[in-house]
């Protein structure tokens, strides 16, 4: 018994276990069974980006989702040749869900604005793992739908009234 608890302590500090803890806190994964989350935690990788390095560029189909472990990343939109800053993402942010589901060339660019460590999961790995648990797909679809719905609600709650042009194009949750 003694040696067993010792083992657990050692394992607790390993990267796989940390990844698993992170995944289980993300809405997208939290409802999935532990067995699947273990596989995903094993499959995802940690990447570091230096300041000014890009996570992805506009039109890239990098095909992965990111969770920021530490550091800060900034989102840009290319408007008529000019880079326009949209917002910053900080530790604890998870983005790129849709890229896990299908080809999704990026509409935006994202770069690190200081030393950034991310947990990333590629579409290929996600799809392969999920194909072992076909009955979990509905949960994933539900999570995506909810996150789109949630996004639009938040958008309408905060500040959209200042932007008359935006009001004509709202309704992404109706796609």
Q: Which residues bind another protein (CB under 8 A)?
A: 7, 10-11, 13-16, 19, 35, 38-39, 42-43, 45, 47-50, 53-54, 59-61, 105, 124-125, 128-129, 131-132, 134
CA dist 120 and 107 (Å) reads 19
Distance CA 130, CA 39 (A): 9
* Rounded-to-integer distance, Cα 59 and Cα 78, Å: 11
The answer to whether 95 and 87 are in contact (CB under 8 A) is no
Q: Which is nearer to another protein, 8 or 149 (CB)?
A: 8
As measured in angstroms, the least distance from the Cβ of 157 to another protein is 31
Backbone angles phi, psi at 114, to 5 degrees: -150, -175
CB of 69 to another protein, least distance (A): 14
CB atoms near residue 41 (< 10 Å): 22
Quote the least distance from Cβ 124 to another protein, whole Å. Answer: 6
Q: Which is nearer to another protein, 5 or 162 (CB)?
A: 5
CB of 59 to another protein, least distance (A): 5
Shortest spacing between CB 138 and another protein, in angstroms: 15
With respect to another protein, which residue has the nearer C-beta, 4 or 79? 4
Angle in degrees, CA 15, 19, 23, rounded to 5: 175
Instruction: Report the phi/psi class of residue 96: left, alpha or beta, with left for phi > 0 and alpha for psi in -120 to 50.
Output: left
Q: Where are the alpha helices (DSSP H) in the chain?
A: 2-12, 15-23, 27-30, 34-43, 97-101, 123-130, 137-157, 164-168
- Closer to another protein by CB, 25 or 45: give it: 45
Q: Quick one: 13 or 162, whose CB is closer to another protein?
A: 13
């Amino acid at each position: 018994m003694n040696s067993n608890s010792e083992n657990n302590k050692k394992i607790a500090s390993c990267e796989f276990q940390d990844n698993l803890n992170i995944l289980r806190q993300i809405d997208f994964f939290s409802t999935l069974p532990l067995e699947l989350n273990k596989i995903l935690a094993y499959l995802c990788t940690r990447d570091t980006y230096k300041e000014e390095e890009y996570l992805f560029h506009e039109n890239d189909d990098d095909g992965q989702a990111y969770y920021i472990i530490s550091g800060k990343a900034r989102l840009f939109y290319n408007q008529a040749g000019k880079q326009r800053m949209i917002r910053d993402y900080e530790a604890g942010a998870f983005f790129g869900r849709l890229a896990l589901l299908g080809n999704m060339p990026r509409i935006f660019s994202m770069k690190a604005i200081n030393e950034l460590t991310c947990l990333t999961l590629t579409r290929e790995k996600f799809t392969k793992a999920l194909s072992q648990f076909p009955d979990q797909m509905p949960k994933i679809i539900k999570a995506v739908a909810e996150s789109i719905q949630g996004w639009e609600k938040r958008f309408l709650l905060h500040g959209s009234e200042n932007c008359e042009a935006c009001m004509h194009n709202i309704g992404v949750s109706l796609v």
